[in-house]
Structure 1
């Protein structure tokens, strides 16, 4: 059993489970063996007995010998590959594929930054080619720049709405651009919680992959604008947000 416990500790360390930690009172605590086994099993590495642990260690060893899912490199520099790979084909973001020579387990430099699909001896993975440095605003527009920071919901246009949307943002951008502004900072526009008027904070989104649909402005797509709704000095999100989404759904249903 002692050997099994040592294997359990080996497995825990290999998959990143800390056996000891310091609590808020500065006391050193130790995770129980039962908790280690439960956590390892929940992570996909069964550890209820010595046989399970042995199989999980074998599984982990096999996984570690597989090529990585992604390799990150820098534009213009050679890329060192896992020693088990020898042939390479690179497909860029436009679908163009190039055969690359591999010498001493190293890819030749890729000069154009971007994400590539890399085929290595039958294995497919992502090659992320980073630029040598991050471009700054002054790389694109040198000199002194100015512009406002706006909260989109606070914008008001010619129509009456409880809160601003991308239509009012479009008007604001044109207005400031006409007066010589170079940039405009806006609040986050990530997706919120459709139908839930209480989840309205742009800093607590449901997803950072999608836009906040409540900011939609059909008129920007050549469609009739949303019906006007009364609004006060303060935004009643719990009422205004569901009404806005209902109007947008009605517009979509009429397409």
Structure 2
């Protein structure tokens, strides 16, 4: 009997760097996608030297090599969603954009990674404009945090929820009035954390209590990968956003069950098991 579309496992391609400690980047994306019922494929954009205490080295792949990896996957495998993480420079951004133009995918989720949690730059400053012009218009969702939003807009970091909503609307305009903006509010102070999502028509908020833990390495990777994994499996994007938010909340709440490193450890990607 032929499988129905609802029963087919979605194939998700992650375009990301490699964190050898497994807390962020491609390895974290694979864990998240697998935990949420997807089949993970990957294209490596960069190699890093890092652990839970920080990043001490970065080697970015050539644009041609990134293109070749993406082409090899997309020419052979049905890809239901693409998650884009660390890109590093203009060359890799243009390579990714070129392949996505040639191989359109219904769901493209961009995690606008500009720096590591420890502050190491992971995207060359001159590449920010290229990201906005060439890649954002090809995406369906992008997930900046508040400092990243400020850099994208060339403005101050929002200080409250009202500022966040204004920022989300401006980001939507910046992106060409196409991709949905999932603005992460974890950098605001307080016991409650609020994410705002704006699709050009409606603003929705996803709120949760702040978890007291040092183990939050790779939260942005987990959220964007969760959204990419869930979009093909849910009836609406709003349902995917809500479920992805809840997944990440559970992964953070269960982070202290793990014992990984002596710095900022990872979230617990398989907390539901």
Give your verdict on TM over 0.5. Answer: no
State TM-score, norm by structure 2: 0.16
State TM-score, norm by structure 1: 0.17
More helix by share: 2
Greater RCO (Cα-Cα under 8 Å, separation 6 or more): 2
